[in-house]
Amino acid sequence: MKIEHIGIAVKSLGLSDELFSKLLGTENYKQESVEREGVTTSFYQLGESKIELVEASREESPIAKFIDKKGEGIHHIAFGVENILEEIARLKNAGFQFISEEPKDGADNKIVVFLHPKSTNGVLIELCQEKK
């Protein structure tokens, strides 16, 4: 398992892309919308991890709700795993709760699931696996 990306909730990808390109000294390598999730993402490679800027693509997006409540900032940590089904089983066995146990298509050619922050010390954790 490794830190695959840090998700950062932003109001405007336009403004935040400009800020993060300056901050990181590199351009994003992709921008991608995931309509099911109600988000548009922008990815920056940072060594073996990434920064994922996440903007709400519609009103009822979880990102819109998060920003309304907590403002812009760190939203989630994504762990990259080899076998997401095995990790789900391991973590369920260890008593962790999932928002949904069924992996779904994420951004950046991944399948993803999320654990509920109430079972992970208040940190939203995403598991992601490269699509085969």
CA angle 76, 112, 51 (to 5 degrees): 40
78 scored as a contact of Co ion (CB under 5 A): yes
Residue nearer to Co ion on the CB measure, 8 or 91: 8
Q: Taking CB under 6 A as the criterion, which residues in 48-77 touch ligand LP2KCY5N?
A: 52, 54, 62-63, 65-66, 69, 75-76
The position carrying tokens 């935040």 is 16
* Of 48, 44, 47, 2, nearest in space to 23 by CA: 44
7 scored as a contact of Co ion (CB under 5 A): yes
Count CB neighbours of 34 within 10 A: 17
**Contact stretch for ligand LP2KCY5N (CB under 6 A) within 13-21, 22-30, 87-95, 123-131:** 123-131
Tell me how far apart the alpha carbons of residues 28 and 54 are, in angstroms, rounded to a whole number: 13
Q: How far is the CB of 6 from Co ion (least distance, A)?
A: 9
In sequence order, the 6+-apart residues with CB closer than 8 A to the CB of 54 are 7, 8, 9, 10, 39, 40, 41, 63, 75
Q: How far is the CB of 54 from ligand LP2KCY5N (least distance, A)?
A: 5
Contact residues: ligand LP2KCY5N, CB under 6 A: 7, 34, 37, 39, 41, 52, 54, 62-63, 65-66, 69, 75-76, 78, 99, 106-107, 110, 112, 114, 117, 122-124, 126
